[in-house]
Amino acid sequence: MFVKRDPIAKATEMGCCGCFGFAFSRKPKTVVRPTREFGNHHSREYLLEEEEEEYEDVSYNGDLTETENRDDSEFQSPVRRSEEILRYRIHNGLICREVPVKETSKLVRSEDEDGNKMINEYVRQHKIGSGSYGKVVLYRSTTDGKNYAIKAFHKSHLLKLRVAPSETAMTDVLREVLIMKSLKHPNIVNLVEVIDDPTTDHFYMVLEYVEGKLCEGAGLPGGLGEDTARKHFRDIVCGLMYLHAHNVVHGDIKPDNLLVTASGTLKIGDFSVSQVFEDDNDELRRSPGTPVFTAPECCLGLTYHGKVADTWAVGVTLYCMILGKYPFLGDTLQDTYDKIVNNSLDLPDEMNPLLKDLIEGLLCKDPDHRYTLKTVSEHAWVIGEEGHIPQYPCWCKRNKPKEGTSDGSRTDLLID
Q: Within a domain: residue 244?
A: yes
Tens of pLDDT, residue by residue over 137-157, are 999 999 999 999 999 998 988
Tens of pLDDT, residue by residue over 339-363, are 999 999 999 999 999 999 999 999 9
Highest average pLDDT, of 62-66, 216-220, 232-236, comes from: 232-236
Q: Within a domain: residue 163?
A: no
Q: Within a domain: residue 284?
A: yes
Return the higher-pLDDT residue of 193 and 83: 193
Give the pLDDT confidence score for residue 389 in this predicted structure: 87
Beta-bridge mates of residue 304: 284
Tens of pLDDT, residue by residue over 231-275, are 999 999 999 999 998 889 999 999 989 999 999 999 999 998 898
Instruction: State the pTM of this model.
Output: 0.77
Question: What is the band of 80 on the pLDDT scale with cuts at 50, 70, 90?
Answer: low
Q: Percent of the chain scored above 70 by pLDDT?
A: 72
> Residue 407 above 70 pLDDT?
no
Return the higher-pLDDT residue of 391 and 112: 112
Give the pLDDT confidence score for residue 40 in this predicted structure: 35
The span from the CA of 110 to the CA of 90, in Å, is 33
Give the pLDDT confidence score for residue 129 in this predicted structure: 77
Give the pLDDT confidence score for residue 21 in this predicted structure: 33
Question: What is the band of 167 on the pLDDT scale with cuts at 50, 70, 90?
Answer: confident
Q: What is the count of structural domains for the chain?
A: 1
151 labelled binding-site residue: yes
Mean pLDDT across the chain: 77
Return the higher-pLDDT residue of 84 and 185: 185
Q: Within a domain: residue 167?
A: no
Q: Within a domain: residue 219?
A: yes
Q: Within a domain: residue 352?
A: yes
Return the higher-pLDDT residue of 195 and 285: 195
Judged by average pLDDT, the poorest of 78-87, 100-109, 276-285, 404-413 is: 404-413
Beta-strand pair 191-196/248-249? unpaired
Beta-strand pair 191-196/102-104? parallel
CB of 294 closer than 8 Å to CB of 259: no
Beta-strand pair 202-208/147-154? antiparallel
Q: Within a domain: residue 363?
A: yes
> Residue 18 above 60 pLDDT?
no
> Residue 19 above 60 pLDDT?
no
- For 404-407, which contacts have Cβ atoms below 8 Å and span 24 or more sequence positions? 406/278, 407/88, 407/89, 407/92, 407/94
Return the higher-pLDDT residue of 9 and 389: 389
In this structure, what CATH number is given to the domain that contains residue 328? 1.10.510.10
* Structural domain of 328: 212-396
**CA atoms lying within 13 Å on the CB side of residue 255:** 30
Give the pLDDT confidence score for residue 77 in this predicted structure: 53
Which of 305, 269, 271, 270 is CA-nearest to residue 287?
305
Question: What is the band of 411 on the pLDDT scale with cuts at 50, 70, 90?
Answer: very low
Could you give the residue numbers annotated as active site? 252
Q: Percent of the chain scored above 90 by pLDDT?
A: 47
Which of 286, 226, 49 is CA-nearest to residue 151?
49
